Amino acid sequence: MKITDVRPWIVTGPPTEPGLPGHAGERLHYVFVQVDTDEGLTGWGEITTYPGLVANRAIAAMLREVRPVLIGHDPARIEAIWHKLFRLFTYMGTRGATTAMISGIDIALWDLRGQALGQPIYELLGGPLRETVPLYVHFAYSDTPEEMARHARGQVDLGARAIKTDPFLAAGRASGALDNTTYVGGGLDPATEQTGVEMIAAVREAVGPQVEILIDAHGLYNVPTAVRLANRLAPYNITWFEEPVPPESYHALRQAREQIPVPMCVGERLHTRFEFVPIFEGRLADFIMPDVTWTGGITELKKIANMAEAYYIPITPHDASGPINILAGAHVSLTVPNFYRLEARRVQFDFYNAFLDEPLVVHDGALHVPRRPGLGLSLNLDYLRAHEVKPG
């Protein structure tokens, strides 16, 4: 079999649920990768990255440029293609945009391999260790502790057993007093901090003691602020405090780690197994959360998970995008012993199903991975054609 074409699709998604972080009511853009072959099989991957169209158009352009490098290759040579693309960009930088681009292609190649062999991807990765993939989900951001609690309760009533939010981002947006959506100084004003703490107190009260509450700090804080915020939320039984500081400094992460009294999770902004080595060796996290569409695809997620296993650290794949991200992460999640939960936007996959030929199935807060070959689901070409965004 030979690769005959590689094509990026930038696609406008359905309107988001009001209150989704950062883009309430907007229509987000997604990047999918179509890899065609001379035997009529098509594999699908996803990259979808941020910020919005700027990053998605940049990554789509990169895909168009590597198309000639891939045409004519045997798509079954997944490892060889991964290394060829990775080393191709040694001088431009092998992490970040490069690994995101590789991820989209790698996932499509695994989809093709599964289809060619008539097996789901998880069977090619060693077979399943569990029947379903437990999820953790977000709930809509809102302005008050009462509304936050109501939205959290809504996801629990739909079957969620673990929920995640960023109360300080919600509180900061509500007050308008502080633009704490990007890191500059890394501080937080006292009023916003207090509202954020009250939001989590209300959420814990609403969901009861059994539901796991995860806090995402989005890498927005300096060390003393992150330490203070984590300490203030600790009384509410927090499962983890995520990305306390920006990703560039392992030293700052260590300082935070030594003073934060709850478990920590990092990794959505780390790329490849190489960037996780300091996390494992430095004991800098209790959970790691590589993103299958950014860190290097199914190939890389499996390797990172195996490395983490040797340190008894659970993986919990990150998801900030769409249906292929969820499916690719789920296939790996089925096959590794050291798995916690897979991230998803909501218990119900309305955002993703618009793109798919069949809906994703979730029961009791866990995803049922399709048993068909490859990823198990295909993208709906009619939807893609109708909502494609042309290059800028």
Place of tokens 């590689």: 6
Footprint of Mg ion on 258-287 (CB under 5 A): none
- What is the nearest approach in angstroms of Mg ion to the Cβ of residue 322? 16
Kindly indicate which of the ranges 138-146, 209-217, 361-369, 377-385 contains the residues binding Mg ion, using the contact rule CB under 5 A: 209-217
- What is the nearest approach in angstroms of Mg ion to the Cβ of residue 137? 13
Paired tokens of 369: 């991975």
- What is the nearest approach in angstroms of Mg ion to the Cβ of residue 268? 5
Cis peptide before 75 (omega within 30 of 0): no
Paired tokens of 390: 């042309």
Structural element, H or E, at residue 363: strand 361-363
Report the residue number, 85 or 203, with the smaller CB distance to Mg ion: 203
Kindly indicate which of the ranges 9-17, 72-80, 212-220, 254-262 contains the residues binding Mg ion, using the contact rule CB under 5 A: 212-220
Q: Residue 297 and residue 78: Cα distance in Å, rounded?
A: 11
Alpha helices in 245-337 (DSSP H): 250-259, 272-281, 297-309, 323-335
Q: Residue 141 and residue 64: Cα distance in Å, rounded?
A: 37
Kindly indicate which of the ranges 193-201, 213-221, 252-260, 383-391 contains the residues binding Mg ion, using the contact rule CB under 5 A: 213-221
Report the residue number, 329 or 376, with the smaller CB distance to Mg ion: 329
Report CA-CA distances (Å) from 100 to 104, 138, 294, 297: 7, 23, 4, 8
Separate counts of helices (H) and strands (E) for the chain: 14, 12
- What is the nearest approach in angstroms of Mg ion to the Cβ of residue 139? 15
Q: Residue 236 and residue 17: Cα distance in Å, rounded?
A: 27
- What is the nearest approach in angstroms of Mg ion to the Cβ of residue 70? 31
Q: Which of residues 111, 193, 216, 300 is near Mg ion by CB under 5 A? A: 216
Q: Residue 142 and residue 170: Cα distance in Å, rounded?
A: 6
Report the residue number, 329 or 373, with the smaller CB distance to Mg ion: 329
Place of tokens 């739909």: 158
Closest to 54 (Cα-Cα) out of 31, 20, 23, 35: 31
168 to 207: interface string for Mg ion, x by CB under 5 A: ----------------------------------------
Report the residue number, 124 or 140, with the smaller CB distance to Mg ion: 140
- What is the nearest approach in angstroms of Mg ion to the Cβ of residue 73? 34
Report the residue number, 216 or 286, with the smaller CB distance to Mg ion: 216
Report the residue number, 46 or 291, with the smaller CB distance to Mg ion: 291
Q: Does 319 bind Mg ion (CB under 5 A)?
A: no
- What is the nearest approach in angstroms of Mg ion to the Cβ of residue 273? 20
Asked if 278 contacts 90 with a C-beta cutoff of 8 angstroms, the reply is no
Footprint of Mg ion on 320-339 (CB under 5 A): none
Report the residue number, 113 or 341, with the smaller CB distance to Mg ion: 341
Report the residue number, 164 or 273, with the smaller CB distance to Mg ion: 164
Bridge partners of residue 329, in order along the sequence: none
* Cα 214 off chain centre by: 15
Q: Residue 157 and residue 112: Cα distance in Å, rounded?
A: 38
Report the residue number, 99 or 132, with the smaller CB distance to Mg ion: 99
Report CA-CA distances (Å) from 22 to 30, 42, 99, 140, 266: 16, 34, 25, 10, 21
Please tell me the count of residues contacting Mg ion according to CB under 5 A: 1
Footprint of Mg ion on 56-115 (CB under 5 A): none
Kindly indicate which of the ranges 46-54, 211-219, 278-286, 306-314 contains the residues binding Mg ion, using the contact rule CB under 5 A: 211-219
Q: Which residues bind Mg ion (CB under 5 A)?
A: 216
